[in-house]
Amino acid sequence: METEETFKLFESKRLLIGEQIPYSFLLEVLARSAIMFMVTLVILRMSGKRGIKQLSIFELAILISLGSAAGDPMFYQEVGLLPAIAVLCVVIMLYKCLTYLSGKFESIEKFVEGKAIKLIEEGRILQHVLKKESLAYDELFSQLRQHSVSHLGQIKTAYLETSGDLSIYYFADQQTDAGLPILPELYDHSVNDFNGSVYACKLCGNTAKLHRIEVCTVCAGQEWVKAIKTTRIS
């Protein structure tokens, strides 16, 4: 270790390539990077064709493992190529093995891939499920708005898939009921004065005609907003 006297801040060679490493090592870095990139490309090609947006937690863990194994030998001179390639092969074999077992045993499939979770039913948020999945309201509403949803009364059921995407089944236009608005300019304004109109609970989306503030009979929430009953425009 260098002493305080010999250590130089912002020393150019140490900043650019590191101590005791010749600049010629950059040529080896280029070769290492090309080799590991091609090996990783072949490994991923063998793993299948699912898109990035469709990745499950299991597959994300696989990619993180592959990235870590492939990255280090690209520029660390003390990390050899063969151990890294061995790691890549082991990871992809585990992936293939667990994928095969998942197709044979439902319990393994649920553990590895997870399962779709119902978040909304008949225009109401299943609040206990939402809490369990650690999903924020803003995140849920953002995904719903991307599906052209303006209020929960348009939704019959919605499922959180293992990929993190939402699968939504809608009421027909003639069956659409008043529901909790998820547009920020409407949702953010809680109501204090009630006049017998239909209001929606901000926590679960339960609707009721109110003349005064009341506790929600579904989730015990006490904040309400004016419900809306517009049809969905796709």
Show the tokens assigned to 122. Answer: 């008949």
pLDDT value, residue 84: 77
Per-residue pLDDT of the chain (234 residues; tens, 9 = 90+): 445 556 677 777 766 777 777 888 778 877 877 787 677 667 666 655 444 445 666 777 777 777 877 887 777 767 677 777 877 888 788 888 888 888 888 887 777 777 889 999 999 999 989 888 878 899 999 999 999 999 999 999 999 987 778 999 999 999 999 999 999 999 999 998 999 999 999 999 999 999 999 999 999 999 999 999 999 887
Q: Are the beta carbons of 122 and 198 closer than 8 angstroms?
A: no
CATH topology of domain 117-226: CRO Repressor (3.30.240)
Could you give the 3-state DSSP secondary structure of residue 184? helix
- pTM, two decimals, is 0.65
Helices 81-104 and 25-47 meet at what angle, rounded to 10?
A: 10
Asked if residue 170 lies in contact with residue 154, where contact means CB atoms within 8 angstroms, the answer is yes
- The single residue listed with the structure tokens 């520029």 is 75
pLDDT at site 5: 53
Q: What whole-number distance in Å separates Cα of residue 226 and Cα of residue 178?
A: 9
CA distance linking residue 228 with residue 205, whole number of Å: 11
Instruction: Determine whether 144 is exposed, middle or buried from the number of CB atoms within 10 Å of its CB (0-12, 13-18, 19+).
Output: buried
Q: Annotate 9-47 with b (16+ C-beta within 10 A) or e (fewer).
A: eeeeeeeebeeeeeeeeeeebeebeebbeebbeebbeeb
The 8 Å CB, 24+ separation contacts for 166-173 are 166/119, 166/140, 167/116, 168/120, 168/144, 170/232, 171/123, 173/231, 173/232
Q: What residues does each domain of the chain span?
A: 12-111, 117-226
Cβ neighbors of 50 (< 8 A, separation 6 or more) are 59
